[in-house]
Structure 1
């Protein structure tokens, strides 16, 4: 099976996630917005799911792997709902002019999550579409943690490894520096995997493209003042509508990805014998 060390990568991402959000979420004393809980639970569950999937297929527990794969049909739309919940929270805080920090960086956080959501939709669609090609299927699934990696690692960089931030923009924009650097590191790792096997490297090239797009757009977002008006307009859409749209996007990608990966009817038919 390909990527026999894939579960170590997922476990490392899971550990980075716990470490990155340890102070701000896992051990925080004050009340947390519901959006944080929804995103945290669905994202952590997704990583745990990938970990079990990688271990199960390499230990030849194919039945478990198949059952867990079917469970992803329900998990993935919930994951997308969690992403939208965070976008909604950033937008509502921006609309309420909660703080100078959110007024400067709110649209940047929103566009970063939109790009992450688009990346997940694209990668999961292709994972289902190419599920009969083991290397491509595994690659697209294992590429999804790369989209998550930036958020916790940028927090670790800010608090534990400030020397890594060689940009040092100063003020609130320092946060965007850490995001850009984290995304660049992920992109370099993805490109290294791509060049190891370019024939089956599409997942890694795609992941690298998304994280670098996120790095560039997010860092320049405070200078893109034209984003402010649509972000404010988005904040005024009822949350129930945007959350439903996110979940429906996850359902649609799951359905169409599965259909795209199905064998043609002619190939499934058993030839008649005379």
Structure 2
């Protein structure tokens, strides 16, 4: 089975997420916007599903592996809904005077929207290639790589000298950390792609998304037109945006399942 030790990366990502958002989210749960809660809960469910999908086949727990695969039909639409929820909250903060989101909200929104699209595509392709072990596993794990930048950017801002954010006066440092985290994710995607070019399409797609994020973060996302578009999301009802995410996630699952690839590689015992 491919990526035998990938479950350790997922555990590390979960631990890094708790560390990264401990001060800004976990210690202020009572005052955090509803969109943040929706995203935090559903993203956690997706990472736990990835952990189960990565761990179980290497321990001979194929029944549990298939069960967790079928759970994608519930967890992915919920994750997509939660992603729209956090975008709504970030847009409200961007136009509502929050000093951090006033500076970085529109740019983070740009990155998150691309990640949203990339995760939905990868999840659909994981289902489509469920009969090809390497492609199926690659697409599933590539969704985690697209979540690296917002997590490790904040880890950098709490640990790396010269980039530590101690207060609002240091908020301009966040951009450097976000780009550094994205560059690291891009290098990992490139390495995994070159390591197995024949089955490297999942990592090539992830690399493309990350590169577009890196470039757009400094160009399109930094402009006034994009900021205006992003702030307009706050005007839309939260539940309407989340319903759109739920529908998009469900559609991705249906498309991936019904477009199953019938050729190429051994049959995967998944989803």
TM-score over 0.5 for the pair: yes
Q: Hey, what does 1:74 align to over in structure 2?
A: 74
Structure 1 pair 216/53, CA: closer, same or farther in 2 (3 Å)?
same
Unmatched segments (≥5 aa) in structure 1: 265-274
Q: Hey, what does 1:229 align to over in structure 2?
A: 228
Q: Hey, what does 2:214 align to over in structure 1?
A: 215
Q: Hey, what does 1:272 align to over in structure 2?
A: none
Deviation at residue 93 of structure 1 after TM alignment: 2.3
| Per-residue Cα deviation, 1:201-257 (whole angstroms, up to 9, x for no partner) | 111111111122112212335631121332233322222221111110000000010
Structure 1 pair 263/221, CA: closer, same or farther in 2 (3 Å)?
closer
Which residues of 2 match residues 123-142 of structure 1 at below 5 A?
123-142=122-141
Q: TM-score, normalised by structure 1?
A: 0.88
C-alpha distance in 1 between matches for 2:163 and 2:188:
17
Deviation at residue 99 of structure 1 after TM alignment: 3.4
Structure 1 pair 8/75, CA: closer, same or farther in 2 (3 Å)?
same
Root mean square deviation of aligned Cα? 2.0
CA contact (8 A) 1:125 1:256 kept: yes
Deviation at residue 27 of structure 1 after TM alignment: 2.9
CA contact (8 A) 2:35 2:87 kept: no
Bigger Cα displacement from structure 2, 16-25 vs 123-132:
16-25
Which structure has more relative contact order (CA 8 Å, sep 6+)? It is 2
Query: Aligned pair 1:114/2:113, yes or no?
Result: yes
Structure 1 pair 23/99, CA: closer, same or farther in 2 (3 Å)?
closer
| Per-residue Cα deviation, 1:170-196 (whole angstroms, up to 9, x for no partner) | 964321221111010011011111111
Deviation at residue 34 of structure 1 after TM alignment: 1.7
How many residues end up aligned between the 2 structures?
259
C-alpha distance in 2 between matches for 1:198 and 1:263:
20
Q: Hey, what does 1:14 align to over in structure 2?
A: 14
Query: Aligned pair 1:31/2:17, yes or no?
Result: no
Q: Hey, what does 2:250 align to over in structure 1?
A: 251
The structure that has the greater radius of gyration is 1
C-alpha distance in 2 between matches for 1:232 and 1:184:
27
C-alpha distance in 1 between matches for 2:29 and 2:133:
45
Q: TM-score, normalised by structure 2?
A: 0.89
Q: Hey, what does 2:269 align to over in structure 1?
A: none
Deviation at residue 57 of structure 1 after TM alignment: 0.8
CA contact (8 A) 1:17 1:149 kept: no
CA contact (8 A) 1:81 1:244 kept: yes
Query: Aligned pair 1:62/2:62, yes or no?
Result: yes
| Per-residue Cα deviation, 1:6-45 (whole angstroms, up to 9, x for no partner) | 1111111111111111222223375221222211111112
C-alpha distance in 2 between matches for 1:252 and 1:122:
11
Which residues of 2 match residues 80-119 of structure 1 at below 5 A?
80-95=80-95, 97-119=96-118
